[in-house]
Amino acid sequence: MIRYRSKSWLARFSAAFGVFALAWGLWLLWSGVTWDYGKFKSPIFGFSGVLSLVVGVIAVGLGPLMLFAALRTPVILAADTLRVPKGFRRISLPVNDIAGVGLVFKRNQGGTGGLPSGWYLMVWRCDGHFQYTGIGYIPAVFRRGNPGGGQSRSVSAVKFNPVADTDSRQLASTYAAQVARDIYDHVMSRQGPSGPLAVQQLQKHVQAGGPWGTSPILAYWSPDGSIGPAAGPMNLTA
């Protein structure tokens, strides 16, 4: 049994923010409880004490949630099952029901919701439905190659072409790609050359869009090293 934990900067930020929110919330709660409401006659000072209590309760509730989301083990690979997160629970996918393993590139369209632009590890079942794993590679800077030679230049995620501009060797060296290869190799060894993963290779037939309009799927990367664009509407998660 192998456990994989997200190592993206987003997970680290969530953990750090969770600790900060918890500490700040406890301090606000203590300030609100010990507030001398009778010391000042102005109602503003009384309101400040109540506000400290309210914000403190919210922060204390939010902090542990963010810590849990950042520190939990997202993926557990066992001999015959792959356990992946779904909300606050985990679901078990039989290894013999996996027909695709790979990374997909999702671009955030600039809305308030949606995942940050980056590559996310997904698995597909034989019926075509997919499941996120909570593991991804979110580049701090997106770079585009210079057609005339020379060094690449940084561009916004909106202008980044995940197929033409991605350094395949760099992507293959990321933690998310390594986990994808581990799962891919394990499933292939258990299913054999005539199994659904070897035959269907659904990670190479990923379709564009998806149920999250603010972060559409644009491309795929397969553990065998191939990379390509996505096209068409995608099935909803089960």
Residue 90 domain-assigned?
Answer: no
- Which ranges of the chain would DSSP assign to H, the alpha helix? 9-33, 43-71, 168-172, 175-191, 196-200
Summarised one tens digit per residue, pLDDT across range 159-168 is: 888 988 888 8
CA distance 45 to 218: 53
Q: Are residues 65 and 109 in the same domain?
A: no
SS3 173: coil
Q: Are residues 109 and 217 in the same domain?
A: yes
Q: Are residues 66 and 130 in the same domain?
A: no
pLDDT at 4 over 90: no
HSE-CB at 214 with a 13 A cutoff on CA atoms is 7
Q: Are residues 20 and 57 in the same domain?
A: yes
CA distance 38 to 177: 60
**pLDDT on residue 181:** 96
Residue 235 domain-assigned?
Answer: no
Residue 7 domain-assigned?
Answer: yes
Q: Are residues 115 and 148 in the same domain?
A: yes
Q: Are residues 61 and 104 in the same domain?
A: no
Residue 81 domain-assigned?
Answer: no
Please tell me whether the overall predicted TM-score, pTM, comes out greater than 0.85 for this model: no
Residue 140 domain-assigned?
Answer: yes
Domain that holds residue 174: 96-229
pLDDT band, residue 124 (cuts 50/70/90): very high
Residue 56 domain-assigned?
Answer: yes
Q: Are residues 116 and 225 in the same domain?
A: yes
Count: domains in the chain: 2
Summarised one tens digit per residue, pLDDT across range 129-138 is: 989 888 889 8
Q: Are residues 136 and 174 in the same domain?
A: yes
Summarised one tens digit per residue, pLDDT across range 206-226 is: 887 654 455 678 899 999 999
